[in-house]
Amino acid sequence: MSKRIEIYDTTLRDGMQREGISISVDEKVKIALRLDRLGLHYIEGGFPGSNPKDIEFYRQMGGRRLRTAKLAAFGATHKRGTRPHHDPLLKALARVDAPVATIVGKGWKLHIRKVLRVGLEENLAMIADTIRFLVRRDKQVFFDAEHFFDGYRDDPEYSLSTLKAAAEAGAARLILCDTNGATLPDEAVRIIRDVRSRIDAPLGIHAHNDSDCAVAISLMAVEAGAIQVQGTMNGYGERCGNANLASIIPALKLKMGYKIISDRRLEQLTETSRYVAEIANVSPEPHQPYVGENAFAHKGGMHVSAALKDARTFEHIDPALVGNQQRILVSELAGRATLLEKASEMGLDLTGDSKVIGRLLKRLKEREHAGYHYEAADASLELLIRRELGLHKPVIRLDNFRVIVQKRKSAVISEAKIVLQGDGSGDLPIEFAEGNGPVNALDIALRKLLLSSFPKSAGRLSQIRLVNYKVRILDEHKGTGAVTRVLLDSSDGTDSWGTVGVSENIIEASWEALVDSIEYGLIKRRRG
């Protein structure tokens, strides 16, 4: 049976040190419960005693029964010149309803002298006394040897003495911290092996990513004998971040054969990664290994053709193992296999019709050359294909529109006028609307026109809403005359879709994406 490796998550403490992240107590609880559902072994919730938010978090977690994880609370060695039972932060840590206490202590003489400002022997005493204090209060204590690798380079014997002091005082795990992220993998392995040969205690690794090696160091540390890996979901953390558990967990389980979490729980990894990102209000990194939206995306024509024949040709694992999926991207690099696959996803069978495929590929590449971008605009792509095949009858047929933006004292007013083509029986349909911007005004006026022309679509129209609006300038050197690409994300509350518009005029580009958004939303309902 393969060796069991412990996963210790510190997203809720170390991860929260990333710039721009600030979450509420309730959100911390939600993340903790989701990490527990994933099957992690330890979840560190914060530094009780240092701030009211973390105190309240542990209070709320006190009555909850976790499925797989043990809750850990973070703290530091007692203050200089005092005793553990007189240190208010240490006493608060002892009172927390968490079975594990993780204590950070100094392992580098530079920090001991210039930051902690105590003697070397006093530092050892502070480590030992703090750990004994918590062990006597029935805590399982992990010792985070801060800046251990930097300290080892400076004075190996002293850094090792901090580990010995912690182990003799009763620490259950000795965690070697690459706090500055300066260590490279081969050096980390050499140091860990030396520690193992001289100290008989379970080791862990806590790596930061300043040299872009945190994941590699964590994996090699396990091979060198570490039984615990500390990190954060999505690699969140201060500066360049911490070791990314969303990469470490599948690598240890699928590639290295260690016992981590069950297969069923591993399938929740992608969902968990994106859930944490959503709660933290951080856009998910689409190119993140294993869990990113593009982790198993194929764009090059030859790559797509090979991947569709056998996914192993360009996918290092089955994406379903981590809850992700293969994506076929359509672009100017697309080949026949790409287009056939995308058409099949839309319910269109184009196999055997080489002339149609050739015409569609030519049209697609012309549009991409003009600035269109269909990877994130699936709805516009489908409408393009259906129009080229003569399968789509437009609902919105524009005659003309006009947008006026007027500054009135402290307010800016946007007004849109839209005229649609008529059916030849009389006056052209026309509508006016005001909005909080030109695109919003166009959206409101267009919906009013459609409601009067197609009253049966009222329910569907009310469900369609714009959820994101993105603008990109394609040729910046032209300044205000540059071509603009607009991407819209829309949703009906159940599904979401993307549309694109391109023009030298941002309003025209926005109109094109807006029309595609509503057209797709309406035909989607008819097909469904």
Neighbours of 86 (CB within 10 A): 11
Grade residue 289 by pLDDT with cuts at 50, 70 and 90: very high
- pTM given for the model: 0.70
Nearest to 522 by CA among 375, 351, 379, 348: 379
Structure tokens at 20: 């721009």
Segment 333-347 shows an average pLDDT of 69
Which residues, in sequence order, are bridge partners of residue 419? 400, 430
Grade residue 68 by pLDDT with cuts at 50, 70 and 90: very high
* Confidence check: pLDDT of 334 > 80: no
What pLDDT, in 10s, does the model give residues 47-62? 997 788 999 999 999 8
Place of tokens 């109109």: 511
**Rounded distance between C-alpha atoms, residue 415 and residue 437, angstroms:** 8
| pLDDT at res. 329 | 61
The greatest distance separating any two alpha carbons of the chain, rounded to the nearest whole angstrom, comes to: 97
Neighbours of 348 (CB within 10 A): 16
> Which of 176-190, 206-220, 254-268, 445-459 comes out lowest in average pLDDT?
445-459
| pLDDT at res. 477 | 63
* Confidence check: pLDDT of 164 > 80: yes
Question: What proportions of the chain, in percent to the nearest 5, are helix, strand and coil?
Answer: 45, 20, 35
List domains and CATH numbers for the chain.
Answer: 6-261 (3.20.20.70), 356-395+465-528 (3.30.160.340), 396-453 (3.30.160)
Specify the DSSP class assigned to residue 269: H
Measured over the CA atoms of residue 219, residue 225, residue 227 and residue 230, the dihedral's sign is negative
Measured over the CA atoms of residue 348, residue 353, residue 359 and residue 361, the dihedral's sign is positive
CB 516 within 8 A of CB 383: yes
* Confidence check: pLDDT of 528 > 50: no
* Confidence check: pLDDT of 343 > 80: no
Segment 28-32 shows an average pLDDT of 94
Structure tokens at 147: 């800046």
| pLDDT at res. 152 | 97
* Confidence check: pLDDT of 13 > 80: yes
| pLDDT at res. 261 | 95
| Percentage of residues in the chain having pLDDT higher than 90 | 58
What pLDDT, in 10s, does the model give residues 478-505? 666 678 989 898 888 888 888 999 999 9
Nearest to 209 by CA among 176, 231, 186: 231
**Rounded distance between C-alpha atoms, residue 422 and residue 397, angstroms:** 8
Order of strands, sheet of 496-503, starting from the edge strand that comes earlier in the sequence: 465-473, 484-491, 496-503
| pLDDT at res. 2 | 65
